[in-house]
Chains A and B, each alone.
Chain A
Amino acid sequence: MVFEQLAGNLFQGLVLGAVYGMATMGLSLIFGVLKVVNVGHGAFVMVGAFITFWLFSALGVNPIFAIPVAFVIGLGLGLFFYYTVIQRLIKAPELATLLATFSIGVLLQEVIKLIFGSEFRGYNWTVGKIDLGLTVLPVSKLLACLGSVGIAVLLYIWFNRTRAGSAMRSVVEDSEGARVCGVNVGAAYAWSFALGIGLTVTSGVLLTMFIPVGINPYMGGGYTLKAFVIAVLGGLSSPYGAFFGGLVFGLIENGSYTLFALLPGVEPFALTRFLSFVILLIILLIRPTGLLARK
């Protein structure tokens, strides 16, 4: 009985993990190409969440259609912040970009708070449930999972089969060589950052499809930490590693929640969040470049 429940929970963990993984791909992309750690990551996820919420409650738009809207807005935000802030900090010490991305996150938080207020928002998009044997899954969650996998696949195709994507990859491997081959390295950096942000904002849509409640300007913080744990699990510079890291994290999170719930005298939710932090520290100690990363 417990085993069945555990298996069901683990499956749900994988489904959630796909969404978590997708949410981290932007972070890894930005670090891989620009060597910039986007400490304001969670705020962009939050923006995606609000886009979904607003489109649904104000305009009645189905969250699936929020995906392209969020992506385009994300690209725009990414380009904006790249050209106004990030580009000017290329020569500055690392501390500067850490603090700058952090402050951008705070700024987004405050702007959203100004527009929407700080109350918790939610929306109700019921499209039924589906019985998968092991467990029963709301269709919205399934769609979120499929959407995440789909985007990961699209990203793979883009990087490996298109010119623009290959140009971006070449900049990571050897920026001087790429420049010599005629790649516009400056533009590659800008669009990589934009793409990373676009992915991150889009993930906000998928996350709210999964969890359509608790949307508020301060929700980003928790996702920033999760994203870092996942990124460090899967390889700080590899978007695909991030995706698989997300799957692993989803499993661990759900699994540990189930196990903690069995222990008397503890709060499983809080302890699970503490555990993810401990995992982060352990991995940073043994292998900061990521457990799944190649050398």
Chain B
Amino acid sequence: MKNQAVKYYPMLPVLAAYAVLFLIGRNMSGMWQLVAMLLFYCALGQAFNIFLGMTGYVDFGYVAFMGVGTYGMALAISRLAHIEGLGAGIIVIGFVLAVLMSTLLSIAVGAVALRLRGAYFAIATIGVNEGFRFLIEGARIWNGSEGIIFTAQLNQILGREAASALAIFWADVFVLTIAVAAALVTLIYMRSKIGYALTALREDEDAAKVMGINVTKFKIIAFITSASFAGLVGASSWALKTPYVFPPEVFEIHYTIEAIIIVLLGGAGTLLGPLVGGLIYGISKYYLSIFIPGFQLLIFAPIIIVIIVVFPEGVVGMLKAKTRNTAAGRFIV
């Protein structure tokens, strides 16, 4: 039995890090806003890593899943608010709807794109976020380009005070939970046949097939998992903190760019990578925005290019190599 527990030791540094973040945020005045931002980036990175890091495939349209999740929550709140007695349960329904919708979208996209190899897959995904946005605007689904504003309904469900507390605190706690959950799922995959199959297909897809691995099945598992977490992140970090959703905002490729930076910086395919990457990126962006607002990508784009060329394994990847057979190495996964 001890054997089983040891497998999950790597969750300890993850839990510790989030605990520290939470405490800093709560106890140091004015820090919660930064912590909230860091939690968002860590959760985003953790979710994105499940696909990019574990399969080695890049989905350039990833933000679409976040956008769809945001719509899920928005629709739940705006359409169900008038039903008496549901109260905060609507938030739960919103999360469920967010996961459902992002899963459905990922199945639809995956059914087409995951049959394609490498570069073709990337090409296929490049338009997904824009495509979906233009579908919503073009066919005037869910209010089309006007989007959904649900401030009033949210206040109706929770009352003004609770709605406010949600926006500035509880939504971020949800994000923290999502980040931890995504990390746990990552570790569970890594320690199971799923993880080994993904590593094999990432390294050499044809050899993996000959070894008996149904590569498409495992790609789909990773894809859907990654997409559902994205939906959850969108639902809590976007819908619950700012009670409106507009298509051009929630389908912006900008967030995919940030997700890529976070995962590569921290170490693609590692457990701690997204956490480290999210912290570095988030803190840098926060302080850079004081001096040169809006230009953090100008700094990070060349950094990422350097990482791709020189340090493709990222910060945690390099740490892993150094601590391979040491005691600390058991926690750095």
* Across-interface contacts of A111 in B (CB, < 8 A): 298
* Across-interface contacts of B312 in A (CB, < 8 A): 92, 96
* Across-interface contacts of B298 in A (CB, < 8 A): 107, 110-111, 113-114
Tell yes or no: B140 within 8 A of A by CB: yes
The 0/1 profile, CB within 8 Å of A marked 1, for residues 275-312 of chain B is: 00000000000000000000101100110110011001
Tell yes or no: A225 within 8 A of B by CB: yes
Interface pair A281/B308, CB less than 8 Å apart: no
Interface pair B297/A221, CB less than 8 Å apart: no
The distance from the CB of A50 to the nearest CB of chain B, in whole angstroms, is: 16
Tell yes or no: B264 within 8 A of A by CB: yes
Of the listed stretches B36-44, B119-127, B161-169, chain A binds: B119-127
* Across-interface contacts of A187 in B (CB, < 8 A): none
Interface pair A274/B138, CB less than 8 Å apart: yes
The 0/1 profile, CB within 8 Å of A marked 1, for residues 132-175 of chain B is: 01110111100011000000000000000000000000000000
Size of the chain B interface, CB-CB below 8 angstroms: 42
Size of the chain A interface, CB-CB below 8 angstroms: 49
* Across-interface contacts of A96 in B (CB, < 8 A): 308-309, 312
* Across-interface contacts of B89 in A (CB, < 8 A): none
Rounded to whole angstroms, the CA-CA distance of A229 and B302 in the bound complex is 28
Interface pair A270/B145, CB less than 8 Å apart: yes
The distance from the CB of A286 to the nearest CB of chain B, in whole angstroms, is: 11
Partner of A89, one of B60, B145, B253, B308: B308
Partner of B297, one of A39, A110, A280, A284: A110
Contacts of A242-295 to chain B: CB distance below 8 A: 260, 265-274, 276-278, 280-281, 284-285, 288
Of the listed stretches A98-106, A133-141, A146-154, A160-168, chain B binds: A98-106
* Across-interface contacts of A119 in B (CB, < 8 A): none
Rounded to whole angstroms, the CA-CA distance of A278 and B132 in the bound complex is 10
Interface pair A93/B130, CB less than 8 Å apart: no
Interface pair A280/B123, CB less than 8 Å apart: yes
The distance from the CB of B138 to the nearest CB of chain A, in whole angstroms, is: 3
* Across-interface contacts of B112 in A (CB, < 8 A): 281, 284-285
Rounded to whole angstroms, the CA-CA distance of A228 and B113 in the bound complex is 14
The distance from the CB of B137 to the nearest CB of chain A, in whole angstroms, is: 4
Contacts of A78-129 to chain B: CB distance below 8 A: 85, 88-89, 92-96, 98-100, 102-104, 106-107, 109-111, 113-114
Tell yes or no: B315 within 8 A of A by CB: no
Interface pair B115/A266, CB less than 8 Å apart: no
* Across-interface contacts of B295 in A (CB, < 8 A): 110, 113-114
Interface pair B127/A280, CB less than 8 Å apart: yes
Interface pair B134/A107, CB less than 8 Å apart: no
Interface pair A37/B305, CB less than 8 Å apart: no
* Across-interface contacts of B308 in A (CB, < 8 A): 85, 89, 92, 96, 99-100, 103
Tell yes or no: B260 within 8 A of A by CB: yes
Tell yes or no: B58 within 8 A of A by CB: yes
Tell yes or no: A224 within 8 A of B by CB: yes
Interface pair B139/A102, CB less than 8 Å apart: no
Tell yes or no: A199 within 8 A of B by CB: no
Partner of B124, one of A267, A272, A274, A280: A280
Q: Which residue of A is nearest B121, CB measured? A: A284
* Across-interface contacts of A107 in B (CB, < 8 A): 298, 301-302, 305
Q: Which residue of A is nearest B144, CB measured? A: A267
* Across-interface contacts of A277 in B (CB, < 8 A): 127-128, 130-131, 134
Partner of B130, one of A98, A221, A285: A221
Interface pair B135/A274, CB less than 8 Å apart: yes
Tell yes or no: A16 within 8 A of B by CB: no
The 0/1 profile, CB within 8 Å of A marked 1, for residues 243-258 of chain B is: 0000000000100010
Interface pair B130/A106, CB less than 8 Å apart: no
Interface pair A89/B309, CB less than 8 Å apart: yes
Partner of A103, one of B113, B118, B119, B304: B304
User: Given A85-B309, A111-B298, does the pair A270, B134 have CB atoms closer than 8 Å?
Assistant: yes
* Across-interface contacts of B305 in A (CB, < 8 A): 85, 100, 103-104, 107
Rounded to whole angstroms, the CA-CA distance of A225 and B257 in the bound complex is 16
The distance from the CB of A99 to the nearest CB of chain B, in whole angstroms, is: 6
Q: Which residue of A is nearest B256, CB measured? A: A102
Q: Which residue of B is nearest A36, CB measured? A: B119
User: Given A267-B145, A280-B127, A284-B112, does the pair A99, B260 have CB atoms closer than 8 Å?
Assistant: yes
Tell yes or no: B56 within 8 A of A by CB: yes
* Across-interface contacts of A102 in B (CB, < 8 A): 58, 60, 257, 260
* Across-interface contacts of B260 in A (CB, < 8 A): 99, 102-103
* Across-interface contacts of B134 in A (CB, < 8 A): 270-271, 273-274, 277
* Across-interface contacts of A266 in B (CB, < 8 A): 138-140
Interface pair B56/A95, CB less than 8 Å apart: yes
Rounded to whole angstroms, the CA-CA distance of A90 and B288 in the bound complex is 34
17 additional contacts, CB 8 Å, given A96-B308, A280-B124? A37-B123, A39-B126, A92-B308, A95-B118, A96-B312, A100-B309, A102-B58, A103-B260, A104-B301, A104-B305, A106-B257, A110-B301, A221-B253, A228-B127, A269-B138, A270-B137, A281-B113
Can you identify 6 A-B contacts, CB atoms within 8 angstroms? A89-B308, A98-B119, A113-B295, A271-B138, A274-B138, A274-B139
